[in-house]
Amino acid sequence: MEQDARRKLVRVALAAVLLVVLKIVEKSLAFPMLALFFLYLVPYLVVGYDVLAEAWEEIREGEVFSEDFLMGIATIGALVIGFLPGAEPEFTEAVFVMLFFQVGEIFEDMAEDNSRKSITRLMDIRPDTANVERDGKVLVVDPNEVAVGETIVVKPGEKVPMDGVVVEGASSLDTVALTGESAPREVSVGDSVYSGCVNQRGLIRMKVSKVFGESTASKILELVEHASEGKSHSERFITRFARIYTPVVVVGALAVAFLPPLFSGDFLASFSTWLIRALTFLVVSCPCALVISVPLTFFSGIGCASKQGILVKGSNYLEALSQAGIVVFDKTGTLTKGVFEVTAVHPSEMDETQLLHLAAHVERYSTHPIAASLRAAYPHEADSCTVEDVEEVAGQGVRATVNGRVVCVGNTKLMDAIGAQWKPCEKTGTIIHVAVDGIYAGHIVISDAVKGDSKEAIQNLKAEGVRKTVMLTGDRKEVAESVAKELGLDECHAELLPADKVDWVEKLLASKEQGRTLAFVGDGINDAPVLARADVGIAMGAMGSDAAIDAADVVLMDDKPSKIALVVRIARRTLAIAKENVVFAIAVKVAVLVLAAFGLATMWMAVFADVGVMVLAVLNATRALNQKG
């Protein structure tokens, strides 16, 4: 428990004890009214002074109708009502209302603390130190002080403090904090490792590739810390609602207090009765259950998603996901593994090895999955050849100068652009053509497999109420159609450049149903514009891809498409819980308000209605945190 909450709890306990003592003393000794007032003022102020101070503060800031204000006038009214002719004193009630209000606040603090902890605990990836090698010695330093290019040592059991590449040793890394899944990742020399993983076995030495502030762990932490800033419509609605509702209630209370006595003929005789009803009215009307539980529900929903390795950058995106009507996917690396295998090599001017050799060289610096597979197909790529002027054309391929000759590696669009006479291929698969100095040199056929859970992901999305699933790809039509058919996608559009993908998303956005949203899912490789254009941009495989973390609204730490259906489900349940809370709170309030206006509800009932509703609403909100996948 936070210190504030603990202090508040002590005050509540102290006030409760004082109240009990007062009750006993009051029975045995006959105090005059004024003395009682001052005696009860002690526990009242002990428990509620900060509420009064807050209310005053808010009034000075121009926000007259806060919930502290409602509580303040209701309780002050109850304290002084006893001095009216013919009225019963309500001292106990006044202290009790304050006491309960504070219990509710403590409760809410604890619940919020809980969701925050479960977000940060699961994201417990902040490394405290790094073991850096300097002048042959290993020094333990703050990770912020380690520069790119330095060598650090990660011992078994330690967190990897920053991103880098293994230069010595092998181990398995536990990525559970990042992905929500505990499958270990084996790494050895040459592999990239990301900060936030835990080294399980061997000692590894690694060369730092990013400063701490730009490493995966820092980026994710930053994202998590700001997750609750994006406000959803529901939350904004509640704020607006409270702004109108509270003044209305205050006017209502004034009407209850003054109108009936005015019309009764004998104002003084009935005023105290109606005033106590008006005060009860004020206590019931406090909108805290709403104001507190809706944001808390969203916060818990975001916490639940992060447990599964899904980072949602704000409640607004959670809300948008719950209304997803169209989900658009990128193909390569998103629905398919993005791990291509070379299935055929058809050279025109040279032998197979030479063709693979050229392709691997041109692709030396590209991060595209195709590039990785071409490099893998020619493992002796690091020879003495010179590779210069590398230029990657998104959605088409790469151009580079290899030993003085301009080599282009890519699809037919690229070949057409340079006027090379490409030859079609009868094989199915992605065809990568190669041209040297504008002369066609042959092609390499590569193929990719769909991910194991892609089909299930599409089915589950449909089950969650998504109307349309669409695939957009830069790959060939034949390949695209076979994937779309295999997965049961509703639409697929192939041979697109990144700009064409944006156009398609615009078209789909225009066609979507009222009140529904469009989500785009990509792997972050050349699809940042589309991620930004969609209502919700989802990037997967964020471990290691900064562009994806930055451009997306929702980040999947691993690259499982089934997580998309999962986050939609979490979003829908979270929204349902938020709605339950709103309906429940308003219904109970209205009922008690009506009772209070007719004098059927006592101030005791009002307190229980108010705090009870709030406690139930908070408990309900925390259900959003503990949803099962």
The site for ligand ADP (CB under 6 A) is made up of: 330-332, 363, 366, 368, 370-371, 395-398, 409-411, 430, 432, 473-475, 525-526
**CB-side neighbour CA atoms (13 Å) of 193:** 36
Cross-strand bridge partners of residue 514: none
Bridge partners of residue 445, in order along the sequence? 344, 431
Residue 298 or 422: the one with the smaller Cβ distance to ligand ADP is 422
* Cβ-based neighbour number of residue 421 at 10 Å: 11
Q: Which residue is nearest to Mg ion (CB)?
A: 332
Shortest Cβ distance from residue 525 to Mg ion (Å)?
5
Which residues in 15-155 belong to E strands, given as ranges?
130-134, 137-141, 151-154
Of ligand ADP, Mg ion, none, which one sits near residue 396, judging by CB under 5 to 8 A according to partner kind?
ligand ADP
The minimum distance between CB 498 and Mg ion, in angstroms, equals: 9
Minimum Å gap between C-beta 174 and ligand ADP is 30
Identify the bridge partners of residue 409 per DSSP, sorted by sequence position. 398, 434
User: Please, which residues have CB within 8 angstroms of residue 278's CB and are 6 or more apart in sequence?
Assistant: 77, 253, 254, 256, 257
* Residue nearer to Mg ion on the CB measure, 292 or 539: 539
CB of 318 to ligand ADP, least distance (A): 27
Contact of residue 505 among Mg ion, ligand ADP, none (CB under 5-8 Å per partner type): none
Q: Whole-number minimum distance, CB 458 to ligand ADP, in Å?
A: 17
Q: Which is nearer to Mg ion, 230 or 333 (CB)?
A: 333
Residue carrying the six token digits 């990301």:
194
- Alpha-carbon span 309 to 196, nearest angstrom: 13
Q: Which residues bind Mg ion (CB under 5 A)?
A: 330, 332, 525
Apex 628 CA angle, 626 and 629, nearest 5: 135
Q: Specify which residues 65 forms β-bridges with.
A: none
Closest approach, Cβ 495 to ligand ADP, in A, equals: 8
The three-class DSSP label of residue 597 is helix
Q: How far is the CB of 520 from ligand ADP (least distance, A)?
A: 12
Q: Between 475 and 553, name the residue whose CB sits nearer to Mg ion.
A: 475
The smaller minimum CB distance to ligand ADP, of residues 484 and 615, is found at 484
The rounded distance, in Å, linking the Cα atoms of 70 and 251 is 12
> From the list ligand ADP, Mg ion, none, which binds 410 (C-beta under 5 to 8 Å, kind-based)?
ligand ADP
| Cβ distance to ligand ADP smaller for residue 319 or 448 | 448
**Angle (CA) 76 78 82, round 5°:** 115
Collapsing DSSP states into helix, strand and coil, what is residue 111? helix
Query: Is the CB of 494 or the CB of 577 nearer to Mg ion?
Result: 494
- According to DSSP, residue 342 is labeled E
Identify whether the C-beta of residue 277 lies closer than 8 Å to the C-beta of residue 521. Answer: no
Q: Which long-range contacts (CB under 8 A, 24 or more apart) does 401-404 make?
A: 402/358, 402/361, 402/362
604 Cα distance to chain centroid? 40
Which burial class, exposed, middle or buried, applies to 183 when counting CB atoms under 10 A from its CB (0-12, 13-18, 19+)? exposed
Of the candidates 309, 335, 332, 305, the one whose C-alpha atom is nearest the C-alpha of residue 321 is 305
Residue 368 touches which of Mg ion, ligand ADP, none (CB < 5 to 8 A by kind)?
Answer: ligand ADP
CA dihedral over 472, 473, 477, 480, signed as positive or negative:
negative
Q: Give the residue with the Cβ less far from ligand ADP, 471 or 611.
A: 471
Chain centroid to CA 45: how far?
40
Look at residues 397, 391, 455 and name the one whose alpha carbon lies nearest to residue 430: 397
For residue 74, which of 47, 88, 93 has the smallest C-alpha distance?
93
- If we measure between CA atoms, which residue out of 66, 33, 182 comes closest to residue 122? 182
DSSP, collapsed to helix, strand or coil, labels residue 611 as helix
Binding partner of 19, given Mg ion, ligand ADP, none, CB within 5-8 angstroms per partner class: none
Alpha-carbon separation of residue 450 from 343, 455, 457, 486 (angstroms): 16, 9, 12, 9
Residue 278 burial by Cβ neighbours in a 10 Å radius (0-12, 13-18, 19+): buried
Type and span of the H or E element at 19: helix 3-28
Instruction: Pick between residue 433 and residue 589 the one whose CB is nearest to ligand ADP.
Output: 433
Q: Minimal distance in Å, beta carbon 415 to ligand ADP?
A: 10
Question: What is the Cα–Cα distance from 456 to 362, expressed in whole angstroms?
Answer: 37
Toward Mg ion, which CB reaches closer, 270 or 367?
A: 367
The strand ranges marked E within 63-191 are 130-134, 137-141, 151-154, 164-168, 171-174, 185-187
Residues annotated catalytic, as ranges: 330
Q: From the CB of 190, what's the least distance to ligand ADP, in Å?
A: 20
Q: How far is the CB of 414 from ligand ADP (least distance, A)?
A: 7
Query: Which one, 123 or 528, has the nearer CB to Mg ion?
Result: 528
CB of 333 to ligand ADP, least distance (A): 6
With CB under 5 to 8 Å by kind, the binding choice for 409 among Mg ion, ligand ADP, none is ligand ADP
Residue pair 102/13 in contact by the 8 Å Cβ criterion: no
Report the residue closest to ligand ADP, judged by CB. 474
Which residues on adjacent β-strands are paired with residue 519?
327, 536
Find which of ligand ADP, Mg ion, none residue 303 binds, CB within 5 to 8 Å per kind: none
Neighbouring C-alpha atoms within 13 Å toward the C-beta of 127: 32
Dist CA 127 CA 593 (whole Å): 53
